[in-house]
């Protein structure tokens, strides 16, 4: 195939870079460990300790070697406290999250 008969149309460099950046950047709906720690106003090591102690309600998903949390679930977790006004733990949060999702689906 000669260079002037490419099957893929050429794109300008800016378009190529923008497309590449989209593929390499995690979706805005997914939060990194550092971003979630910042939202909680704690350091990353404190976040790690809380997560190890099952004090972080939302469960992460694994993308390659990185952990990410769904922004929608984290926002709901921060907004829906338990009766004592505390954040739900990894033990209690899944049932609360399931209830929130059922109510959303019913609307």
Question: In tens digits, what is the pLDDT along the chain, a chain of 107 residues?
Answer: 455 554 556 667 778 777 777 677 656 799 999 999 999 999 999 999 999 999 999 999 999 999 999 999 999 999 999 999 999 999 999 999 999 999 988 87
In a domain, 3, yes or no: no
* Distance, CA of 33 to CA of 21 (rounded, Å): 21
Q: What is the model's pLDDT at position 4? A: 55
The 8 Å CB, 24+ separation contacts for 30-39 are 30/61, 30/63, 30/68, 30/69, 30/70, 30/71, 31/68, 31/69, 31/70, 31/71, 31/74, 32/66, 32/67, 32/68, 33/67, 36/69, 36/74, 39/74, 39/78
* pTM to 2 decimal places: 0.71
59 lies in some domain: yes
- pLDDT on residue 95: 97
Q: Is residue 7 part of a domain?
A: no
- Find residue 66's DSSP bridge partners: 63
pLDDT of residue 6: 46
How many structural domains compose the chain?
1
Range of the domain at 73: 30-106
């Amino acid at each position: 195939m000669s260079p002037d008969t490419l099957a893929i149309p050429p794109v300008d460099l800016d378009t190529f870079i923008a497309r590449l950046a989209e593929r390499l950047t995690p979706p805005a709906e997914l939060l990194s460990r550092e971003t979630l720690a910042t939202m909680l106003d704690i350091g990353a090591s404190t976040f790690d300790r809380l997560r190890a102690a099952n004090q972080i309600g939302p469960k992460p998903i694994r993308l390659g070697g990185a952990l990410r949390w769904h922004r929608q679930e984290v926002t709901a977790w921060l907004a829906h406290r338990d009766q004592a006004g505390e954040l739900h733990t990894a033990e209690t949060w899944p049932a609360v999250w399931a209830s929130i999702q059922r109510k959303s689906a019913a609307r």
